[in-house]
Amino acid sequence: MYFNFLGGSALLHLLAAHPKVVAVFGIVASVSLLATPLGPQNYFGTGRYVRALEQTLKTHEVVGDAAVAQAAAETRRLATESGPDIEAAIRRVLEDCGRGCADLTPAIVMNDEGLRRAALSLSVLNRAALAQDPGDRRRIAQQMSRR
C-alpha cells in the first residue's frame, strides 16, 4: 500500500502558504521542486526547503508584497464567480499539481472551504507565473543560483 505523507491536501496548503514561490515558478515547477523520485512526500526538510525558496525570492525582491496582495484580491473575486468557473479553476490546479494531488477530486476540494480557498489562490498565482516573460524566469534562476 502507498502512503502519501504529503499528499494532495497538505501539498495544496503548503503551496498556498508560500505564494511568492508559486507566483514565480508556477504550480508545475513548484511541485517538481518539492518532488522526490517517489513523489512529493514529506521527507524531512520539504517545508523548510519551500520556506528557504520563498526567503530567497524575498531577498532578491522578485515578487513584492503588493503582487501577493493583488493575487489575494483576485482570489477573493474568483471566489464570487459561478460554480462552474470555480470548478474549472480547481480542475486546472489539480491537473497542474499532478501526482502530488492524485488523492483529491474537484468534488472533495469544492466541499472543503480551506482546500477550495487554497486551490483558488494557487490558480491565481499560477496564472501570474505563466504570464511572466520567460527571460524573467531565467534571470530569477540565475539570481537564485548565485546565492
Domain count, the chain: 1
Q: Is the pTM of this model over 0.85?
A: no
Q: Residue 19 domain-assigned?
A: yes
* Predicted pLDDT of residue 55: 84
Q: Residue 3 domain-assigned?
A: no
Cβ atoms of 43 and 4 within 8 Å: the answer is: no
Residue among 118, 104, 107 nearest 83 (CA) = 107
Q: Residue 30 domain-assigned?
A: yes
Residue among 76, 59, 58 nearest 124 (CA) = 76
Cβ atoms of 128 and 12 within 8 Å: the answer is: no
Give the HSE-up count for residue 23: Cα atoms under 13 Å, Cβ half-sphere.
20
The radius of gyration of the chain's CA atoms, rounded to the nearest angstrom, is 15
Residue type, 94: L
Contacts of 143 (CB under 8 A, 6+ apart): 60, 62
Residue type, 93: V
Domain region containing 123? 8-145
Beta bridge partners of 36: 39
Q: Residue 92 domain-assigned?
A: yes
Q: Residue 1 domain-assigned?
A: no
Query: pLDDT in tens for each of the 147 residues of the chain?
Result: 333 444 567 888 888 999 998 988 889 888 888 776 555 555 556 778 888 888 888 777 777 788 889 999 999 999 998 889 999 999 999 999 888 788 899 999 999 999 999 999 999 999 988 887 766 666 666 666 665
